[in-house]
Structure 1
């Protein structure tokens, strides 16, 4: 699990069937102080995160399938929760 900051939305009109009706966000990994420390990635969002939110990201397909409640989908990264504050 990684700590990340949401920096944007992804809009895609053509996608695989398992990705229909799923929200995609651009996130950048951050350290405990909120400083960027990795490359941007795309993560599925089921928790209504918004730009500027700190989130927990899972990069494991099996857990992503559980969170998105889709056992047949092809998922790599998913937002697993929204962080209330860093301290």
Structure 2
């Protein structure tokens, strides 16, 4: 399966290189766009669950790396929950 990485910038300026086992991320995000924190987390959840299911369909098991990435995004997003205007920028795909 084609792998995709997506570089993001958190509201505090920190960056994270995120992993998806599928190109489905491109259906949910646009490089250069910023998303409200909750919207970003929701889109990540949808995309990474679809990606994991695609792995399940092909190989017979869910993608633990996609689910781990989602858990990391959810943990990191928790740092900004008290900032109502928090935005997450998708910098690029690779």
Q: TM-score, with normalisation over the residues of structure 2?
A: 0.31
| Larger RCO (CA within 8 A; separation ≥ 6) | 2
Bigger helix fraction: 2
